[in-house]
Structure 1
Amino acid sequence: MFSSKDKKPQKAKVMERNVVAKNTTIVGDIKSDGDFRIDGTLEGTLITNGRVIIGTDGFIKGNVEATNADIEGKFSGDLLVSNTLTIKTTADISGDVVIGKLSIEPGASFNATCSMKGAIKELNSGNEQKRRSEKTA
């Protein structure tokens, strides 16, 4: 009734890791489903469904959209992280940041406007409920 011939082996989903090595500069836009580690310089846009890691010597000038990000180096531009942004002690960030969760180590330089997506939703729903109760009163 059950035959092993009918079953095909399932491949596990493996996230690829892409690396921009130290002393490497890329100018342009990158789109990927895999993780990225930047130890060199990227000037442009990076869009990924994975994690972005900016190493201690890494620098991104431009826009980044990622699920998670760990920053040890420099970032300047617009940063959109749907889950968690982790900022290490050696990080230097400037620009506009939109995140789900934020973790900053003491000593990091964070000179950016920052908004948390979860907090914005809670504030908006709280204001709506407040307006409704004022109308009924």
Structure 2
Amino acid sequence: MASKNNSTFSVLGSDLSIKGDIKASADLHIDGSVEGDIACDSLVQGETSKVTGAITAETARLAGTVTGSITARELVILKTAKIDGDVFYDALTIEQGAQVEGRFAHRDAQKAAQPAATPQGSKPELSVAN
């Protein structure tokens, strides 16, 4: 993991459209369109941005449209956001006026529910906790 003193900030402008997954060790600001999964340390999504795919971030501040699941330690959903997907969080702030279609679950609850999701008769998979 990069040191916070050497952190960088990447911006995807409103004129940019990306098809494919994005993985960034830097902080990411998206104003454009992304069709794919996003994994980064910190995500800021502008009002004009549209993301179709899963978002995984330590911190996320969402103001645009997201179609897909969101997993974040600290999540802020602004009033201009339109979310269609499940939301997994440790800390959550939602401004009045935000639109969310999906389930909310604290990440501890998500981790506890995972073993119960194994169908009977199938072999359990090996998983390593961080």
The two structures share one fold, judged by TM-score above 0.5: yes
How many residue pairs get matched? 110
Structure 1 SS opposite 2:14: coil
Alignment of 1:111-122 (within 5 A): 111-118=101-108, 120=109
% same residue = 28
* Larger fraction in strand: 1
Q: Does 1:60 align with 2:54?
A: no
* Mapped partners of 1:80, 1:72: distance in 2: 16
Task: Tell me which stretches of 4 or more aligned residues in structure 1 moved more than 4 Å.
Answer: none
TM-score with structure 1 setting the length: 0.74
Give the 5 Å matches for 1:78-93: 78-81=69-72, 83-93=73-83
| Structure 1 residues not aligned, in runs of 5+ | 1-10, 125-137
**Aligned match for 1:18, one of 10, 19, 24:** 10
Deviation at residue 42 of structure 1 after TM alignment: 0.5
Pairwise CA distance, 1:67: 0.3
More helix by share: 1
State the partner residue of 2:120: none
Q: What SS does structure 1 have at the residue aligned with 2:80?
A: coil
- Per the normalisation by structure 2, the TM-score is 0.78
> For 1:33, what is the secondary structure of its paired residue?
coil
- Give the C-alpha shift of residue 99 in structure 1: 0.9
- Between Structure 1 and Structure 2, whose CA radius of gyration is higher? 1
